[in-house]
Amino acid sequence: MDKPIIGITQGDINGIGFEIILKALTDPMILDICTPVIYGSPKVAAYYRKQLEMQNFNLNLITEASSAAHHKVNIINTSTDDLKVDTSRNSLEAGKAALSALEAAVKDAKEGKIAAIVTAPINRQAYGEQEEFKFIGHTEYLEQQFEAQGKSLQLMVGEVMRIASLTGHVPVSQVPSLITIDAIVEKVHILQHVLRRDFGINKPRIAVLGLNPHADSEEPQREELEIIRPAVKRLNDEKILCFGPLMADMLFGTGQFTRYDAILAMYHDQCMIPFKTLSMDAGVRMSANLPIIRTAPTHGTRYDIAGKNEASEESLRNALYLAVDTVHNRRTYDESTANPLKVSPASPRRER
């Protein structure tokens, strides 16, 4: 129980996925805190191991996660033996292999065989060509698989910042119509629960950004005046430590973001630009508030450096660390908040 089994999906075999997986798993601390199980192709793993000159790095081939060796790096074959690497190229074959690995890991997660999933980068175009995968990304796919549509939160986690976006992958022109009081309140509720359960923060402080320039001025725009301020007030009335609307440029430019446990941005780039500026190579992407724990590196397949032994494994290694920490934090939270008084059937009365 102290060393959870963590599933790692191979991602796009033509990108840097296997390179960063193998590099990250050479860290001896990984085997001290978890039992890693790679879902992917042993043949492709051997190809990259040879390319990276990791002669002393061995993989333990298993057929199911329950038989994983706890002091070894394990791998489950989820691909055909004729799978070939075509570095830096998008291919239908690579997309199928990536999806097969993900499906196998999700199946094991549903059955309780693994405690969390760490996903290596995928090529969304290759995924999109698969009939079984008509989703924007991993988070939306996992929402559907675990029947949690609309209840997840993509959280970006770095050493100095946690930040999420109210709206997802939508054009900027559509953002204002998606900002509502109820949407903000719901996302802050989710964010607060995630901070408590997954990060062990009892009374989190949450910053809510404005949409327009000078969001906290004396003459706010409609979204700040009619939507964001009332949403924050409602949350404050619920005794939630929520602050806003705050000016994004001042919050990030002056370093005031460090005063908060998490930030809720209004749209994608308002979230991603400051986060990736600070944590591009070390940050973690987390599909939060799902029954399964899923983390991932923040970068993509990086075809530009694939096969060149130039990729940094730091982001994926941090994704592994966060997955393990979240497993333990959830267990502690769930145990501490469980009702100790179990309901039992009423005993039949005795007749006098």
pTM above 0.85, yes or no: yes
Strands of the 74-77 sheet, one edge to the other: 60-62, 74-77, 35-40, 5-9, 116-119, 293-297, 284-288, 153-157, 162-165, 262-265, 206-209, 242-246
Q: Which of 99, 142, 108 is nearest to 13 (CA)?
A: 99
Q: Which of 226, 231, 233 is nearest to 212 (CA)?
A: 226
Phi-psi region of 11 (alpha: psi -120 to 50; beta: other; left: phi over 0): left
pLDDT tens-digit profile, the chain (352 residues) = 589 999 999 999 999 999 999 999 999 899 999 999 999 999 999 999 999 999 889 999 999 999 999 999 999 999 988 899 999 998 889 989 999 999 999 999 999 999 999 999 988 776 555 566 566 678 888 888 888 876 889 999 999 999 999 998 899 999 999 999 999 999 999 999 999 999 999 999 999 999 999 887 777 789 999 999 999 999 999 999 999 999 999 999 999 999 999 999 999 999 999 999 999 889 999 999 999 999 999 999 999 999 999 999 999 999 999 999 999 999 999 999 987 665 555 544 444 3
- Distance, in Å, from the CA atom of 59 to the CA atom of 45, rounded to the nearest integer, reads 9
In tens, the pLDDT along 202-223 reads: 999 999 999 999 887 777 789 9
Q: What's the farthest any 2 CA atoms get from each other in the chain?
A: 86
DSSP class of residue 115? S
| Domains parsed from the chain with CATH numbers | 1-153+286-333 (3.40.718.10), 160-281 (3.40.718.10)
Output the CA angle 317-280-267, nearest 5 degrees.
120
pLDDT in the model for residue 347: 45
Q: Which of 72, 10, 8, 91 is nearest to 46 (CA)?
A: 10
Secondary structure (3-state) at 294: strand
